Amino acid sequence: MNHPASGTVRLHRVLRAPVERVYRAFLDADAKARWLPPYGFLGKVHENDARVGGRYRMSFTNFGTGSSHSFGGIYTELVPNERIGYSDRFDDPNLPGEMRVSVILKPVACGTELHVVQEGIPAAIPTEFCYLGWQESLEQLARLVEPEIPDGQ
């Protein structure tokens, strides 16, 4: 069977939250550490220079086994409250290649329409695992950005 060199996943979701809040959740280090790791993983942000050309580095640690993997990249596009683009590369030499992620945000009547495209996923990682991970991440993103909590609560 002939496997492609890399895979692509596309996700679409509507969040009950303003675009400004969703945009900030993608760039704020503490927010990313909270919502981006899939279920069962702890996230840590080691570097986060949220500007075009700026670098970021993160690691996910499997809470059950203690093993971790790290990755990082460069912010390639930032249009406030509209678009985010970044590269992504695993530190593990067994997962070579550079991935590209683009995030498009659009205000809609009930909140924010979100489109995520991740390209260049290493052939060793089945795309369905990436879909599953992103679904869990976006579920946690919704729980972070959707509540309307007044100050003082």
Per-domain residue ranges for the chain?
Answer: 6-145
In the structure, what pLDDT confidence band is assigned to residue 31 with cuts at 50, 70 and 90? very high
Mean pLDDT of 54-74: 97
The enclosing H or E element of 85 equals strand 83-90
In angstroms, the CA 38 to CA 12 distance is 17
Q: Does domain 6-145 have CATH number 2.130.10.10?
A: no
The enclosing H or E element of 30 equals helix 29-35
pLDDT reading at 3 higher than 70: no
pTM of this structure: 0.92
For residue 55, which of 83, 79, 29 has the smallest C-alpha distance? Answer: 29
Write out the DSSP string of 101-144.
EEEEEEEETTEEEEEEEEEEEETTS-HHHHHHHHHHHHHHHHHH
